[in-house]
Structures are given as C-alpha cells and as structure tokens.
Amino acid sequence: MKRPPLLLVVLDGWGHRDDPESNAIASSAPYFRELMGRYPHGLLHACGAEVGLPEGIMGNSEVGHMNLGAGRVINQDITRINAAIASGDFFENGALLEAMEGARRDEQNLHLMGLVSDGAVHASDKHIVALLQMAKKVGLPGGRVLIHALTDGRDTPPRSGVKHLARLEQACATEGVGRIVSVIGRYWAMDRDNRWERVQKAHDLLTVGVGERRDSAIVALEQSYAAGVTDEFVEPTVIGSQDGTRIEAGERLIMFNYRADRVREISDALSNEDFRSFERRGNGRPVITTFTQYRSDFPFPIAFASNNLSDMFPDVISRAGLRQARIAETEKYAHVTFFFSGGKEDVLPGENRILLPSPKVATYDLVPEMSSRAVTDAILAELARAETEVYIINYANADMVGHTGDYDAACQAVAAVDGCLREITAAVNAQGGLTVITADHGNSEQLVDPESGEPHTAHTLNPVPIVFCGAEFEGQSIRPHGVLADVAPSLLQVLELDQPEAMTARSLIQ
C-alpha cells in the first residue's frame, strides 16, 4: 500500500511576533491562523546558539534549511571562523597564507572582496579585520592590500553602510594595512538568480574600473544616500585613483563571504575560462581563494572546509526507498537542495528537483506574489501523479518581499502564500497525508524598525511557527517549544523510520 504524502513546507521569512504593529504575518494570513487553531502547533528557535550561530545573531535561510535537514544543531561557518580567530588558528590557515605569501613573494597586490557588514548572514566585518591583521603579520606592504567593499542594507539597516565602512577605514589605519579601492551594492555583486546584467556591472568595476569616482568610501555612500540610493543598490564606484587598483590576471584575490549562494555568480565570472553569460572585459583571471566552498566544481583553495554532514533527513529517506521532491523558485532553490542536504550538490536516488523561475523584476515588492502560483501548481501536479512520498517545499515571498521593507507589498506576499496553503492542505488531506508547515527565520513579522521608525529590511530574532496539518493530528499536541533541528526527527517519526545516531535533536511529537 502506498504511503500517503508528507509535505514539509518552509515559509521563508515567516516569523512569529505577538505585536500586530508592522506585522504582515499577523495581518494577512487568516488561513494560516485557522490552521494554528485547528492543529497542534508550537514555536521553534531559529537564531543564535540554537542554530549554531553566535548568541544574538539572527538566523538566515542557509542556516535554517541546514538545521531543518540535519536533525542536529550545526555549528555554522561564522562560528567556526570566529573560533579560529579567537584561538589564533586563523592566522596559520594554509590557504590564506598561500595567497598572502604568494602576493608578497611576487610583489603583487592582494585583493580582498566581500560584504562589509555586521549582519553576519553572508560575511562578518570581524573577519576582514582579521585578514588585515594577518596581512600585516605576513609582511605585505600596507598599500598593496586592496579592499573591494560590497555594501549590505538588506541584512542591516538600509543606510548603515557608512558606519561599517568607517569602522573598516579605522581598522586599516590602526593596522597600517589596507585601503578601500572600490564600493558597490550587493544588489549588483551578489545576485543569485542569473541576472547577469547586474553581475557584469560588478565585474567591470573590479577588473576594468568602470564606475563613478569618489575621493573616499564615506563620500561615496553619503552622495549615494543624497540621491536616494541606499546601501544595497550603491552604484559601482572607484575610490581614489583607479591606477593599479583593478584586479589583474594572476593577482591573488581572497573572497571573504562565507555563505556560498550569493557569490557563486561573481566567482564564476571572475574565474571561469569558458564563461559565456556576458562579454568580459579585463586582462584575465585572478588567483582566487575563498573562505568556504562556493561550488563543488570551483577549483579554488578553500580556507575553511565545509562540515562533512552525513545522515541528513534526505539521506535517510532515500536509503529507505522513499521518493522525494524538492520544489522551490530560483531565489530559494539552493536552500531546499544544497543547504537542506547539508552542503551537498548530489541528487540522491529517488530525488526529483523542480525549479520554477523567479520573476525578472528589479525588486520583489513589484511582484509580491513572486512565483508562488507556479510553485503551488507544481506541488498539486506532483500530488495528482501520486508517485512521491515526501516533499520539501519553499515559499520565498515573506523573506524576499520582506527584505524590501515595503509593508503593503509584504502583506500581499503573505496573503498570496496563505492562499496557496489552503490549496495544498486540501489536496494533501484528500489523500490522507500530512502537511508540516514551518519557517527558517523571521522577517515579514517586523517591517518597521521600532527604534528609528525606518523600514526594517533584515531578518529578526523571533521564533518561527510550526504546525502539523492532517486528520491524524487533530486533537493531539506537540511540544510547544523546540529548535529547527527538531523537525527532521519529527518527520522520521511520522514516516516510522529510525532516527540515526547523528541526529541528536528530539521529535516534537509527544
């Protein structure tokens, strides 16, 4: 007899907050509230130490999906790198030393590129300071350490870049090493949805010096703000003299973002001899070192190797002979595949991946529903085929639209997903299945910064909901509080599969 379907639906950026003020989740998800009233539900910690991050650091999609799939709390890259800095191991890192000593030996510039931010989602400003200290220790001439700064405004307040760049300039002065030679918003340099026209602007800045000219990084941001352009969207800008600051063929480049998904495209453009997505300018390919593995086929030295995670939830169900479908739109496709699988690219036996293109718009407040309709249609079609037992699904809307800080658009985004949930749960219930709905981190439940009154565009520290929607769970209860890692053991209990020893979290089902 075929097993009824089990769906894990991850509502990206769908946090829980009691206060309804500037809370798109509270105002625009009546069906979700109905589910919470009808079925057993609880709250899960999705930030800080409970997901393997430093205390007080907000969660993110990579961390969230990895914990959801792992069934154990995974020490994240930022935690491992911070520990290496504290112990001193960072300054003896072989890959980093090779890049720095090679630049010194060949009398070349050393380029450092990454997000300059304290958001701690993709990069940490503490890490670039450690790189400056290491460059000084290695003996690199201070003027030959060139920083290509990417500004945030998405995981940080939209006009906080001035503060972050000022701190970096102070660190350069304190260490006597390094100078900011280019600035560009992450919108251009950190695309992940094949918007190659954006990536081309970043590439041309880095390799040719195409951009506006400003005397200092601070002036660049202040003038950008005056023109109504905030950190995320800062236009390509060359700082000071262009001479000798471009990334040239054979020069060493350390990319210090530790999260992979938003630096894959620019890495490919900078390094791949067979790259064809746009016509490149510049003098050839640099020698790149990356903090973490950005893609399995990239040949770069890696400073901090990935966690070798086994016995993830997808591994267990694949070994059990169950078929699984991973369904998402392109903005979150890596999260239900690469990250949910523990940083592994391989497609497992019995696994089917369904990718729906995200809308090609400048910002998602212009199309708040995004591709939720296409995602839902794909789910319903798979359910109708009745060939798959387990589904891993992501709805991107509450996160991607929440990042714009547009409350009205976020409400529309949440409402669109809410309508999709109604259709999905009806179809699953008709087959006697179970829909487990949760989230990876918060976002759209807090759209105004309570201190500044400005739009809140970053993730939050709030817990996320979880609800078990199915006839067999009506009238039951679950543990009211848990962590994201508790989800995988819960799903295995539903499937009546043994929990592997590597999964140290506990099922929420009582």
Say if CB 321 and CB 298 are below 8 A apart. no
For residue 509, the SS3 value is strand
Helix (H) or strand (E) holding 407, with range, is helix 407-430
Name the nearest CA neighbour of 7 among 500, 466, 345.
466
**Closest CA relative to residue 28, chosen from 361, 509, 353, 444:** 444
**Pairwise CA distance, residues 410 & 443, whole Å:** 10
For 341, counting Cβ atoms within 10 Å of its Cβ (0-12 exposed, 13-18 middle, 19+ buried), the class is: buried
Q: How far apart are CA 325 and CA 327, in angstroms?
A: 6
| Residue 235 near residue 185 (C-beta atoms within 8 A) | yes
As a whole-number percent, the residues of the chain with pLDDT over 70 amount to 100
Query: Could you give the residue numbers annotated as active site?
Result: 61
| Strand partners for 325 | 352, 391
Say whether pLDDT at 1 is over 50. Answer: no
Average pLDDT rounded to a whole number, residues 209-235: 97
Task: Tell which phi-psi region holds residue 405, choosing left (phi > 0), alpha (psi between -120 and 50) or beta.
Answer: left
SS3 state at 276 = coil
Number of other residues whose CB lies within 10 A of the CB of residue 118 = 16
pLDDT in tens, 224-234: 999 999 999 99
In this predicted structure, what is the pLDDT of residue 308?
A: 81
* Residue pair 95/302 in contact by the 8 Å Cβ criterion: yes
Q: Work out the average pLDDT over 53-62.
A: 96
Q: Beta strands of 363-472 (E only): which ranges?
A: 390-395, 434-438, 464-469
pLDDT for res 97: 98
Q: What domains appear along the chain, each with residue ranges and CATH number?
A: 6-75+309-495 (3.40.720.10), 78-290 (3.40.1450.10)
Q: Which of 173, 159, 167, 179 is nearest to 221 (CA)?
A: 159
Question: Pairing state of beta strands 287-290 and 390-395?
Answer: unpaired
| Strand stretches in 132-189, DSSP E | 145-151, 179-185
pLDDT value for 245: 87
Residues 261, 290: Cα–Cα separation, whole Å: 13
Query: Do 332 and 14 contact (CB within 8 A), yes or no?
Result: no
Q: pLDDT-based confidence at 37, cuts 50/70/90?
A: very high
Average pLDDT over every residue of 251-261: 97
Amino acid at 338: F
CA distance 441 to 488: 16
**Pair type for strands 324-329 and 287-290:** unpaired
Following CA atoms 70, 63, 428, 472 in sequence, which dihedral angle do they give, to the nearest 10 degrees?
60
pLDDT on residue 263:
98
Chain Cα centroid distance, residue 461: 16
First to last CA, the chain: 26
Residue 216 contacts by C-beta under 8 Å, 6 or more apart in sequence? 169, 180, 239, 240
Cα–Cα distance measured from residue 148 to residue 202, given in angstroms and rounded to the nearest whole number: 10
What share of the chain has pLDDT > 90, as a percent? 96
The average pLDDT across 387-398 equals: 99
Q: How far apart are CA 247 and CA 95, in angstroms?
A: 19
Find the helix or strand (DSSP H, E) in which 470 lies: none
Q: Show the tokens assigned to 401.
A: 């639209």
pLDDT digits (tens, 9 = 90+) for 286-345: 999 999 999 989 999 999 998 889 999 999 999 999 999 999 999 999 999 999 999 998
Q: Per residue in 341-378, pLDDT tens? A: 999 989 999 999 999 999 999 999 999 999 999 999 99
pLDDT(489) > 90 = yes
As a whole number, the mean pLDDT across the chain is: 97
Task: Calculate the CA 361 to chain-centre distance.
Answer: 19
**Closest residue by Cα to residue 302 from 267, 347, 331:** 267
Given a contact cutoff of 8 angstroms between Cβ atoms, the answer to whether 258 and 290 are in contact is no
- Specify the long-range contacts of residues 471-479, CB closer than 8 Å, at least 24 apart: 471/429, 471/432, 472/434, 473/39, 473/40, 473/434, 474/38, 474/39, 476/40, 476/509, 476/510, 477/40, 477/510, 478/40, 478/41, 478/42, 478/508, 478/509, 478/510, 479/42, 479/506, 479/508, 479/510
Q: Are 495 and 6 in contact (CB under 8 A)?
A: yes
For residues 471-479, give the mean pLDDT.
94
Query: What tokens were used for 44?
Result: 């899960």
The whole-number pLDDT of residue 510 equals 85
Instruction: Work out the average pLDDT over 130-139.
Output: 98
pLDDT of 431 above 70: yes
What's the one-letter identity of residue 239?
Answer: I
At 96 the pLDDT is 99
pLDDT digits (tens, 9 = 90+) for 72-89: 999 999 999 999 999 999
